[in-house]
Chains A and B, each alone.
Chain A
């Protein structure tokens, strides 16, 4: 199994509070991604990173920010959580390069509930 750890695995918070989810990898993979998964919507890309300090937006990036100061860590921050951000968040990594970019290894997921 790819070495990917997400924390926290479960979190309940209140509307308006900041939340940070952490993804840590031990594979030294170049690409890291944050997805959210919701019923009826499938997996949607929030943000991704193609290297240290190199990040870009995905299709549902509003209300989220990311940072990657080290190869192994990719942080997802909700500056002011809203109920619409209640979801399961998955971190994924890829070794990158051509078709291998599509070979994603996923973390176990972080279930976030915003009350």
Chain B
């Protein structure tokens, strides 16, 4: 079992809809989670991170963390075709530790 698991997708949503990207993790010791976006042929870039149970909002993006159920999600409101990319979830066991990445979920936003 991978430490961080994501559905590879593709997840297809219409423009303007909410895209929900999910990630589960196996190590209960994982403390913090990071979402990276990677456009095709490009390098990953950080969108946001979360380390407390609950929601964290940043513009159209909301990260959710549920430590009891061991899942993390990223919601993208008002999805745009420019949001079409692969979204990588990464976990960190303790502050200052290395990241473990999931395999990523490909999101396609239909105009």
Chain A positions within 8 Å of B, measured between CB atoms, are 33, 40-45, 48, 58, 90, 96-99, 101-109
Contacts and interface: CB of A to CB of B under 8 A. Distances in A.
Q: 9 smallest A-B Cβ distances: which pairs?
A: A42-B103, A106-B43, A43-B101, A98-B95, A102-B34, A42-B101, A102-B92, A101-B96, A106-B44
B51 A99 contact: yes
Contacts of A109: 43
29 contacts: A40-B103, A41-B103, A42-B88, A42-B101, A42-B102, A42-B104, A43-B44, A43-B88, A45-B99, A48-B98, A58-B98, A98-B96, A99-B49, A101-B95, A101-B97, A101-B98, A102-B32, A102-B34, A102-B49, A102-B92, A102-B99, A103-B34, A103-B49, A104-B36, A105-B46, A106-B43, A106-B45, A107-B43, A109-B43
B96 to A, nearest CB: 5
B85 interface: no
Contact of B90 (A96, A102, A106, A108): A102
B101 to A, nearest CB: 4
Given A42-B88, A90-B43, A99-B49, A104 B99 contact: yes
A96 B102 CA distance: 21
A98 B15 CA distance: 37
Contacts of A97: 96
Contact of A96 (B36, B45, B96): B96
Interface string B39-70: 00011111001010000000000000000000
Contacts of B97: 101
A92 to B, nearest CB: 8
